[in-house]
Structure 1
Amino acid sequence: MTLIRVRNLWFKYYEEGPWILRDINLVVYPGDLILVYGPNGSGKSTVAKLIAGLKVFYQGKVKGDIEVCGIDVLKEPERAVEVLGYVAEDPESQLLTPLVIDELILTPINLGIDLNTSIKIAKEIAEIMRIKHLLNKSTNELSAGEAQRVALSAALTIKPRAIVMDEPLAYLDFESANTFVKYVAKLASSGASIIVFENIFHQ
């Protein structure tokens, strides 16, 4: 069974413009941990956003098919959040709430999980990702590294079946990056599909 399938994906920003993505194909199975590596401007972030159901933010033309856990995210992009965790390359733009704790409970609550359970989940993830000390901090006061860790934690709160991450290690120090990599590997070993988009290799 495939968790993520991209078939014959083409994309361009303008009707008369050149194709930025050309015939992209990708199949991801449960437990796969895949690195997509390339320079800035190669279309990695565009692919990541399209898989995550963020087509709504693009005015360009898309051809092809993208399925995540059986959901056609080009036709029903709003359903992607049910099964997929997404971390943007600019984590600060992804934070939507005043406090870190609010950010971590946002998706669980939107998916119908009650408040007490959502808070419990948030605290468990915060413990794993070493951000418990940030839970009551304003998201506007976070450093770039802290914002990255919060965005990563928020993506993990629903224990998604698939995760798409765009340069997730960019702002992390070595210790935080190491903790995150170990946790992601654990998720993959439990059957989650993970795609990491990066433009540099990290030691």
Structure 2
Amino acid sequence: MRKEAVIAIRNINHYYGKGALKRQILFDINLDIYPGEIVIMTGPSGSGKTTLLSLIGGLRSVQEGSLKFLGVELSGASQSQLVQIRRSIGYIFQAHNLLGFLTARQNVQMAVELNNHVAPEEAIAHAQAMLQAVGLENRVNYYPDNLSGGQKQRIAIARALVNNPPLVLADEPTAALDKQSGRDVVEIMQRLAKEQGTAILLVTHDNRILDIADRIVEMEDGLLARDSQSVVISYESGTSGEKP
């Protein structure tokens, strides 16, 4: 029996502007995302990806339709309720958004302390364990300016996953990274998602990482144009096939 969806979206429409300037951005979106599932969202700029991601993350209010997070309806939710939802979600962005005056460990530790009532010693232990999980056990006391782009993004992953959130939203997490660093980052996300049962929704234009997805959804002109199992592409041979 399939577990309850982390995210259940039904007939979502969204608009920008008012009056004569009102413009529809999303059209009748339906989407479910389940625990441990990695869903990659693709599509051209302006297709509605970021708007949908912001609705799912509680960063915008639902205007029309139903959007449930772990069974809790976000349509009609107050700002304080949306704040509580946001605290249950991990976020990873193209810009890692680390605090430069804090070490790697302190950046991750802060996320623990903001979301849990834990002793400082326990928060430190959680942060160090998570940095070890992303391969940065030898960089815990380094400041962001002394780390590579890939290492900074690993810290961002550790920060997003340290509280075992049911959902992580990632917006172009590999855009500023070279091929190998991008591959390392998404494979870490993939492994930790499976270990923790965390659902990941990842928006990307990077075709090199599509093979980590359980499903690929494609946005086009505000519509969900495709929702299918991931296709693995062999760039050497030019062949492709569905993931087993």
The answer to whether TM tops 0.5 is: yes
Deviation (angstroms), 1:117: 1.7
Change (3 A) 1:46 1:134: farther
C-alpha contact (below 8 Å) 2:157/2:189 kept by paired residues: no
Distance 1:43 1:141 in 2: 36
| Change beyond 3 A, Cα 1:194–1:133 | same
The structure whose residues are more often strand, as a share, is 2
Distance 1:187 1:144, change over 3 A: closer
Q: How does 1:25-44 map to 2 (within 5 A)?
A: 25-44=30-49
Partner residue, 1:194? 200
* Structure 1 residues 1-20: aligned runs within 5 Å: 1-15=4-18, 16-20=21-25
Deviations 1:137-176 (A, max 9, x none): 4446666544433222210111211111111222234444
In structure 1, stretches of 5+ residues that fail to align are none
Alignment partners' CA distance in 1, 2:100 and 2:72: 27
CA distance in 2, matches of 1:23, 1:31: 25
- Which region of structure 1 is more displaced relative to structure 2, 100-109 or 187-196? 187-196
% same residue = 28
Matched pairs, number: 197
| Alpha-carbon separation, structure 2, partners of 1:119 and 1:182 | 25
* 1:69 counterpart letter in structure 2: L
**Residues 53-104 of structure 1, C-alpha deviations (whole Å, 9 max, x = no match):** 1127xxxx73223222233345121122443211123323xx3573132221
Aligned partners of 1:102, 1:181: CA distance in 2, in Å?
Answer: 23
Instruction: Give the TM-score normalised by structure 2.
Output: 0.69
**1:19 is paired with a residue of what secondary structure?**
strand
For residues 86 and 22 of structure 1, the distance between their equivalents in structure 2, rounded to whole angstroms, comes to 25
Give the match for residue 106 of structure 2: 102
Structure 2: which 5+ residue stretches go unaligned? 210-244
Q: CA deviation at 1:119?
A: 1.3
SS in 1 for 2:9: strand
CA RMSD of aligned residues (A): 2.6
Which amino acid in structure 1 is aligned with residue 206 of structure 2?
Answer: I
Give SS of 1:163's match. strand
41-50 vs 63-72, greater mean Cα deviation: 63-72
Higher helix share: 1
Paired with 1:143 and 1:183, the residues of 2 have a C-alpha distance of 16
Is the CA contact 2:94–2:174 (under 8 Å) kept in the aligned structure 1? Answer: no
Higher mean displacement: 77-86 or 174-183 = 174-183
Maintained 8 Å contact 1:52/1:73: no
Larger radius of gyration: 2
